[in-house]
Structure 1
Amino acid sequence: MRKLLKWVFILVGLLLGSLLGVPIAHAAKVNPAVAGAGYTVQMVRPRGQVNSTSGYFNLKVQPGEQQRLVVILHNLQAQPQKLTLGINQAYTNPDGVIDYDRYNVKPDPTLKVQLKQIFKEPQRTITLPANGTERVGLTYEAPADPFTGTALGAVYVSQTKPGKKYGKGKITLQNLYAYAISIEMRESLKAIRPVMAMHHVGVGQVDRQNMVMANLQNSRPTVMERLNTQAAITKQGSTTVLIHQTKKGMGMAPNSNFNYRIPWGTTTLKPGNYTLHLSAQATKGTWHFTKNFTVTQQQLNHLANLAKQPKPNYWLYILLAVVIALLLALVGYLIYKNHKNKQQLAQK
């Protein structure tokens, strides 16, 4: 019975992977100890730690200060495992989330302190022996010139190769796990207010959806927290709202920018002049922007060509969903029948 259930669950997992349209599924920023990545990452709290209970490197430094941060890597597998360790700068991803998963991030023009430039070995590959443990030292030298605000990044550890494959042919699942321990470096604990600016506004396409994109920037060395926005698009000179969007719970890394996306939805913008009205509220600031932009026929033709690229076979997805539902129903029936049989045997 248990063996049958095991194979049913494996089959459900394989079908679910193909249903999501991802030939190889990569999981990032998951606690490897919890998710079964086969390794763990642990920080050693250094001197200068602002809060001794913080689960990340929360550092108050002096100009020119040198210190060695330490993380402990432990291989839980019975075979050697290669990991990449990097000092990654915090950036704001297109969803308005502070992220650490890229080593080579184009710095915002306002960024003064790049963490990977003050660490002596900002990126390396480490081979852990089977069931082995290694202490990794990360030495930094704080900038000689005083700096204000927060330099934010992370010790980012990731597997160099995905784990074991499951499935055959085009339907395969592999897990690639990564873990980030944030680094927040400051010389002063004095609070700084963020400042938002809105730059270029134009049109683009993401996952076959046409978007109006507005580049938003946090130009100050501080985290922008609890960011909410309200966006409205009108014809230039008109008050009639064509597209409206509200987003809540976003954030921005210090000295970073991202392209804020506003889907067209069921609206089709024609060639012409438009205006974006955007309001934003964060923990320490409120901003209002109005910016005109133009949509050309050439841009619309380009978006149309992008949308003509081969589309996924949605009928296959529907069929797989039905099969998964039937398999889950089968699992429920088998569990029920097994429980019923045990009750009958107990009564005898």
Structure 2
Amino acid sequence: MNIDGGNYVITGEPGKKVDLQLIVMNKENKNRQFMYMVNTAYTNDSGQLAYDKTKVTDPALKIQVKNTASPKKTVFSVPANTAATIKFSITIPKKAFKGYLMGGVTIYPYKEKGKGTVASNGTLIKNKFSYSIPIQIHQVNGENEDAKYSVNSVKPGNVTASSGNTPGVLANIHNSTNSYMGDLSSKAVVTKKGDKSFKITETKNNQEIAPTTNYNYSISWGKKSLQAGDYHLKLTYTAPGGLKNWVLNKDFSITNNDAAKYNKLAGIKPNYLWLWILLGVLALAIILGLGIYLGKRNNNNNNNGNNTTRRRRR
């Protein structure tokens, strides 16, 4: 075992037990309790590694890192202005696996209320801190695995962007292997079938996709409203240094009901300009048609009158 960049990197024979420890400091003038827990790593919807879920589920996930730890979780006390050493162990699974298992040991204050601060817009924010140290487990002579990314689904939804809450879509991205490629850059391009002028582009950096995980990659529509139709997503991930990339493609559809629902939630009012234009065209067509009809009827009446006069003269 070694510590690489703040990570516990554990490599050993299947079944080997590795003892670890960490130091927790309490700088306050009172005794405090902390929660220690080991969890399996996953990717949150911001595209970052996270370790705060006690249960991570994914169809490809066979071994939970939390099940390799002893203890899995515990509450401990740290006296005022002192430090405590927490000892725990990780047992490398006996079952053979490729690549890396990833998880993390997390420490946070136990049953303490968050400290409130007021943001510039007047919103009350309660802060609770936690600290996590990543864990990587690899079997000696175990094969590495290449990443296999795919798009499970693309669904409309509301997206938090720099401009606020906007309509958009959520692409559920899946990594089906025990692979971790580090910080990835990404570019998503959405096009609409039958409309060559429509194009939405979203770029993101520092996307960390954990092994055997799935997460929602958000794509904001910006100021545009969602419209019903058939669409296509092309999403490209690029490894650090541009050494490798993965291109993912997925067709998807947006219904009228979903478009109306998420536009409303984002505060976008329906645009009825198209309806007024249609009504105007129909009104003009009716007026023109009525004019033509009345004109023909008057011509017929005049012709009938002229024919009657001519007959009488004979």
TM-score by length of 2: 0.73
Q: Secondary structure at the match of 1:103?
A: coil
Q: 1:308 to 1:239 in 2, by over 3 A?
A: closer
> Among residues 187, 203, 206, which one is paired with 2:139 in the alignment?
187
Which string of whole-angstrom CA distances, capped at 9 and with x for unpartnered residues, describes residues 15-72 of structure 1? xxxxxxxxxxxxxxxxxxxxxxxxxxxxxxxxx32x6x65331111211112322112
- Deviating above 6 A after TM superposition, structure 1's stretches of 4 or more consecutive aligned residues are none
Q: 1:276 maps to what in 2?
A: 233
Q: Distance in 2 between matches of 1:121 and 1:57?
A: 16
Q: 2:182 maps to what in 1?
A: 225
The alpha-carbon deviation at position 166 of structure 1 amounts to 6.8
The structure that has the greater radius of gyration is: 2
Q: 2:33 maps to what in 1?
A: 82
The alpha-carbon deviation at position 183 of structure 1 amounts to 1.0
Kindly indicate whether the alpha-carbon contact (under 8 Å) linking 2:26 and 2:32 is maintained by their aligned counterparts in 1: yes
1:297 alignment partner AA: N
Give the unaligned 5+ runs of structure 2.
269-314
Which string of whole-angstrom CA distances, capped at 9 and with x for unpartnered residues, describes residues 200-253 of structure 1? 011101343111111111222121223222222222255444212222332211
Aligned residues: 257
Q: Greater strand percent: which structure?
A: 2
Q: Distance in 2 between matches of 1:165 and 1:215?
A: 34
Q: Distance in 2 between matches of 1:204 and 1:173?
A: 25
Q: 2:296 maps to what in 1?
A: none
1:1-348 equivalences under 5 Å are 48-49=1-2, 54-100=5-51, 102-160=52-110, 161-162=112-113, 175-188=127-140, 191-207=144-160, 208-283=165-240, 285-307=244-266
Q: Distance in 2 between matches of 1:75 and 1:289?
A: 47
Identity of paired residues, percent? 27
Give the unaligned 5+ runs of structure 1.
1-47, 310-348
Q: Distance in 1 between matches of 2:114 and 2:16?
A: 40
Say what the alpha-carbon RMSD is for the aligned residues.
2.6
Q: Distance in 2 between matches of 1:166 and 1:97?
A: 25
Q: Distance in 2 between matches of 1:233 and 1:184?
A: 35
Which string of whole-angstrom CA distances, capped at 9 and with x for unpartnered residues, describes residues 271-295 of structure 1? 1212222222224642223322111
TM-score by length of 1: 0.66
Kindly indicate whether the alpha-carbon contact (under 8 Å) linking 1:232 and 1:241 is maintained by their aligned counterparts in 2: no
